[in-house]
């Protein structure tokens, strides 16, 4: 199994600013992912964070808006840039056990943009 | 296209009643199917996966490839089963997971 520490747990930010969310895993993992969960909706995959290379973004998400870093096999960051109220959501970090494809999740970051 | 459909947003049952949470999927290959659960104030966690064919907390789910379904069932619901349940699909090789919209199960006393 893997334990993920994600911070901050919540934040209230002014529009036009940026917020960086950190995700630390207690073991080395190959795959790390970032999801968004808007109010009342399901989890939407933003991107796969690749170690040593650029993240792979899903349709509708771009690097300029959601830059991602993955400096090593236990850590990743997601930045939400130039925020607007529409970015208000829960952002989740996830990693996958390559042994059995089970996904593990952080507690999430509840972001409110005012 | 890969898609997971959970038709019910909310399911309310009485304690002791059977419960079935529906899940249908579309995928062109051989997917792995999962059920994840999120209890109040807790993080999302794996409940069960079709490969293991096991019963967890009394829940079972059978993969029906003909109907492309993976419904979650429990014969006698308990109050502690109240939670948000997500059906999920992982692509071949398990490189990413796609989630359904989720079903909130409410078990009444």
Q: pLDDT of B53-70, one tens digit each?
A: 788 899 999 899 899 999
> DSSP secondary structure string, B28-93?
SS--EEEEEEE-TTS--EEEEETTT---BTTBEE--BTTTTB--EEESS--GGG-EEEEEEEE-TT
Q: pLDDT of B7-66, one tens digit each?
A: 999 999 999 999 999 999 998 877 889 999 999 989 999 999 888 878 889 999 989 989
CA distances from B85 to A97, B2, B12, B33 (A): 21, 19, 13, 13
Q: How far apart are the C-alpha atoms of B47 and B31, rounded to whole Å?
A: 17
Closest CA of chain B from A87, distance in Å? 19
So what's the pLDDT on residue A100? Answer: 66
Smallest Cβ distance to B94: which of A96, A105, A107? A96
Say whether pLDDT at B88 is over 80: yes
Residues of chain A where predicted confidence (pLDDT) is lower than 50: none
So what's the pLDDT on residue A53? Answer: 83
Q: How far apart are the C-alpha atoms of A17 and B64, rounded to whole Å?
A: 48
Return the H-helix or E-strand segment holding B16: none
Q: How far apart are the C-alpha atoms of B86 and B100, rounded to whole Å?
A: 6
Say whether pLDDT at B93 is over 80: no
- Tell me whether A62 touches chain B (CB under 8 Å): no
Say whether pLDDT at B94 is over 70: no
Cis check for the bond before A8: say yes or no (omega within 30 of 0). Answer: yes
CB A50 within 8 A of CB A109: no
- Tell me whether B25 touches chain A (CB under 8 Å): no
So what's the pLDDT on residue A17? Answer: 97
So what's the pLDDT on residue B71? Answer: 97
Smallest Cβ distance to A42: which of B45, B94, B102? B102
């Amino acid at each position: 199994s893997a334990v993920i520490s994600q911070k901050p747990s919540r934040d209230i930010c002014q529009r036009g600013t940026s917020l960086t969310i950190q995700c630390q895993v207690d073991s080395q993992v190959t795959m790390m992912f970032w999801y968004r969960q808007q109010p009342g909706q399901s989890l939407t995959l933003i991107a796969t964070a690749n170690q040593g290379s650029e993240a792979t973004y899903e349709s509708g998400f771009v690097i300029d808006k959601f830059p991602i870093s993955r400096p090593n096999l236990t850590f990743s960051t997601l930045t939400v840039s130039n925020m607007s109220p529409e970015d208000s959501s829960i952002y989740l970090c996830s990693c996958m056990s390559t042994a059995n494809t089970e996904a593990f999740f952080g507690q999430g970051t509840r972001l409110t943009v005012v | 296209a890969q898609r997971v459909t959970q038709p019910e947003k909310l399911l309310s049952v009485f304690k002791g009643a059977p419960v079935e949470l529906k899940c249908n999927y579309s995928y062109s290959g051989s997917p792995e199917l999962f059920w994840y659960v999120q209890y109040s104030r807790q993080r999302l966690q794996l409940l069960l996966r079709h490969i293991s064919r096991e019963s967890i907390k009394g829940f079972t789910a059978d993969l029906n490839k003909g109907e492309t379904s993976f419904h979650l069932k429990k014969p006698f619901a308990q109050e502690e089963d109240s939670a948000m349940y997500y059906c999920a699909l992982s692509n071949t090789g398990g490189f990413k997971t796609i989630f359904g919209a989720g079903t909130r199960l409410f078990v009444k006393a």
